[in-house]
Amino acid sequence: MPLITSVNKTDKPHKYNVVVGTISYIFDEEIIIEYNIYSGKEIDDSVLDKALSENDVQDYYDKALKYSLKYAKSAGETLSYLTDNKGLDYASSIKIIEKLKARKILNDEVLIKQVLYSLTASSNGRLMIKEKLRNKKFEASLIDDAIKNIDYELYYEALNKLYNKIKHKYDKNPDFVRINKIRNYLYQHGYTQDDISTLNIK
């Protein structure tokens, strides 16, 4: 069986340079611990292959971790990142997603509330909010719950703010044209007829 001749830390956090025979590998610390890798140990080829395979997945885990934390991504977005952008197979990607969820790194229940607040405060109507939540690949049940739990005080405050910002934008037009343009502008931001009817558009 091949002999592990050395195990040394690298400059990268949690990464080790492992020399097996005359071949050098970079292993993640978790794999080192899981497979009890140490200098002077003989390791079966099949065990080494399995450790290398899991080490490759661990590298993808590290990428997914950085991606989800840096950009505040949902589980669905992170899954697409692994499968579509990085080319990792679906089964391995799901394992990584579940691991990130178990460690509370991915928490769509918390994230969707933060995104909902931001979208509401930024003058997005409920139709636009729903579309943007879908684009972030949240589960349908979470989106439905989020829409039901919109802070309508904030919602209508943002709507009025948007209206006051644009209400004089079309003043050069006849009244009926101006009003239609204002309404269409608000529709484009995802506000419904019921929402717009709360405004005193003149």
* pLDDT tens string 79-104: 999 999 999 999 999 999 999 999 99
**What's the CATH number where 75 sits?**
1.10.10.10
- Give the domain range for residue 151: 108-196
Q: What angle do CA 108, 74, 52 make, to 5 degrees?
A: 110
Question: What mean pLDDT is reported for the chain?
Answer: 95
**pLDDT range class, residue 177, cuts 50, 70, 90:** very high
Identify the domain boundary among 72, 102, 132. 102
Distance CA 2, CA 20 (A): 6
Q: Give the pLDDT score at 202.
A: 78
Q: Give the pLDDT score at 200.
A: 85
Q: Give the pLDDT score at 1.
A: 85
Identify the domain boundary among 102, 127, 149. 102
* Shared domain check, 117 and 95: no
Rounded mean pLDDT of 44-53? 93
Distance CA 151, CA 128 (A): 15
Distance CA 202, CA 183 (A): 11
| Tens-place pLDDT, residues 162-171 | 999 999 999 9
* Shared domain check, 191 and 155: yes
Q: Give the pLDDT score at 201.
A: 86
CB 37 within 8 A of CB 18: yes
**pLDDT range class, residue 138, cuts 50, 70, 90:** very high
Identify the domain boundary among 77, 102, 127. 102
Distance CA 58, CA 39 (A): 21
* Shared domain check, 80 and 116: no
pLDDT at residue 136 greater than cutoff 90: yes
* Shared domain check, 129 and 92: no
* Shared domain check, 182 and 127: yes
* Shared domain check, 75 and 162: no
pTM for the whole thing? Answer: 0.84
* Shared domain check, 113 and 96: no
CA 6 to chain centre: 38
pLDDT at residue 23 greater than cutoff 90: yes
Q: What's the number of domains the chain is made of?
A: 2
C-alpha distances in Å from residue 132, one per residue of 136, 138, 146: 6, 10, 12
Contacts of 28 (CB under 8 A, 6+ apart): 14, 15, 16, 55, 58, 59, 62
Rounded mean pLDDT of 146-155? 96
For residue 178, tell me if it sits in a domain.
Answer: yes
Rounded mean pLDDT of 8-35? 94
